[in-house]
Structure 1
Amino acid sequence: MGQTDSSVSPQVVLMGLDLAGKSTLLARLLTGKVVETSPTVGFNVGSLELDKKTSLTVWDVGGQKSMRANWRYYLDDCKALVFVVDSSDPARLPEAQKVLKKVLSEEKLRGVPLMVLANKKDLANSMNIREISNQLDLQSHDDRLWEIQACSALKGLGLLQAFMSISKLIKKSN
């Protein structure tokens, strides 16, 4: 029996700029493999089983500029927002910061915990989480639970830990 009904599995929405690595990250989590991905048009969705009792439904929403206007349609029943940034691309952090602030201002996300994943930490030029946290102005979001963690979708580093933390954040916020 042991299977959890997917309707009770909390919805987690994966957002971020295009090329941040969201689809690679989701594929790696679900299959354990590195999968060639192309830019997401619309969304990918999968059920992630963390342990016997805990699973999350993870929505990976396309990050290209043309897609961002539709992001709010994925926020119904969202229990945690996972915002993925490319930690090796400092030039795009101001854009990421604006996009994050805008999505967090959505009424549906009031009080919803935030996990920022600093992806591509396997690259030599990647920024550390303190630099990214400052660039994204995370301290200003004192009205919600938030965490930032470094990870590498390509190498599979830090992914499971991050999603275990997300599960804990959801439990704390309920």
Structure 2
Amino acid sequence: MGLQNAKHSKVKQANIVMLGLDSAGKSTLLYKFRYNDLFLTSPTIGFNVDMIETQKDFTLTFWDVGGQQKMRQSWCSFLETADGLLYVVDSSDKQRLEESKKEFEVILKTESLKGIPVVVLANKQDLPGAWNAEEVTRRLNMKKYCSDRNWYVQPCCAITGEGLSEALRILTAFTRQYSRSKETSTIFKEIKTL
């Protein structure tokens, strides 16, 4: 029993907050990540939580928070313990991308999110006229708003699963690096107080 607990305690865990406007595909993406299957979803009222082991010693806990206007007011409370942000945009909905950009900018200005890695999923690449990763990068002004952190824009399709394994790999690498730097920072703070 003791050995099993010691082994289990070595597993690192990181909190990933999934945000984006309603109908961007967050819940569908989460189900595809977790079960590699397509689920019919309805708008998320509140949030969904799921854990995914991405490596044998590393688990990501995803907080999929509803994107309706009334839910956006509570986004900041979810960001307080975030180790990574997964921001989802409907890359085919050009009319709402400006609204999504404004919400994204507000999120990135949140003090608790300072330096936290960001992966943007340019979802719905299967739809005609969807903007590619380069265009989403430009339209969200990623180079300006994410210059102080690791960031990446991954084109994907929640229905087919295209691009999702790459997104998980990048998100895992970013959050592992962030977690290590956070641990090192905590150790230095503790040493200074001695």
TM bin, normalised by shorter chain, reads over 0.9
Cα offset, 1:70, TM superposition: 0.4
Partner residue of 2:172? 167
Q: How does 1:57-72 map to 2 (within 5 A)?
A: 57-72=61-76
Please say if residues 12 and 57 of structure 2, whose CA atoms lie closer than 8 Å, have aligned partners that are also in contact: no
1:98 to 96, 102, 116: 102
Alignment partners' CA distance in 1, 2:155 and 2:74: 27
What is the RMSD computed on CA atoms of the aligned residues? Answer: 1.8
Please say if residues 14 and 60 of structure 1, whose CA atoms lie closer than 8 Å, have aligned partners that are also in contact: yes
The secondary structure found in structure 1 opposite 2:137 is helix
Alignment partners' CA distance in 2, 1:168 and 1:149: 14
The secondary structure found in structure 1 opposite 2:55 is coil
Q: How does 1:1-174 map to 2 (within 5 A)?
A: 4=8, 8-140=12-144, 141-173=146-178, 174=181
Change (3 A) 1:10 1:125: same
Alignment partners' CA distance in 1, 2:84 and 2:136: 20
Please say if residues 11 and 57 of structure 2, whose CA atoms lie closer than 8 Å, have aligned partners that are also in contact: no
Rg larger in 1 or in 2? 2
Please say if residues 85 and 117 of structure 1, whose CA atoms lie closer than 8 Å, have aligned partners that are also in contact: yes
Change (3 A) 1:7 1:49: closer
Please say if residues 25 and 153 of structure 1, whose CA atoms lie closer than 8 Å, have aligned partners that are also in contact: yes
Please say if residues 23 and 60 of structure 1, whose CA atoms lie closer than 8 Å, have aligned partners that are also in contact: yes
Cα offset, 1:143, TM superposition: 1.3
Alignment partners' CA distance in 1, 2:158 and 2:174: 21
Unaligned ranges ≥5, structure 2: 182-194
Equivalent AA in structure 2 for residue 38 of structure 1:
S
Aligned length: 174
Identify the structure with bigger relative contact order (alpha carbons < 8 Å, sequence gap 6+): 1
How far does the alpha carbon of each residue in 1:8-43 deviate from its partner, in whole angstroms, 9 at most, with x for none? 410000000000000000011111111010110110
Q: Report sequence identity in percent.
A: 40
Deviation larger for 3-12 or 102-111: 3-12
Please say if residues 6 and 57 of structure 1, whose CA atoms lie closer than 8 Å, have aligned partners that are also in contact: no
Equivalent AA in structure 2 for residue 68 of structure 1:
R
Deviation larger for 17-26 or 49-58: 49-58
Alignment partners' CA distance in 2, 1:14 and 1:152: 16
Instruction: Report the TM-score when normalising by structure 1.
Output: 0.94
Unaligned ranges ≥5, structure 1: none
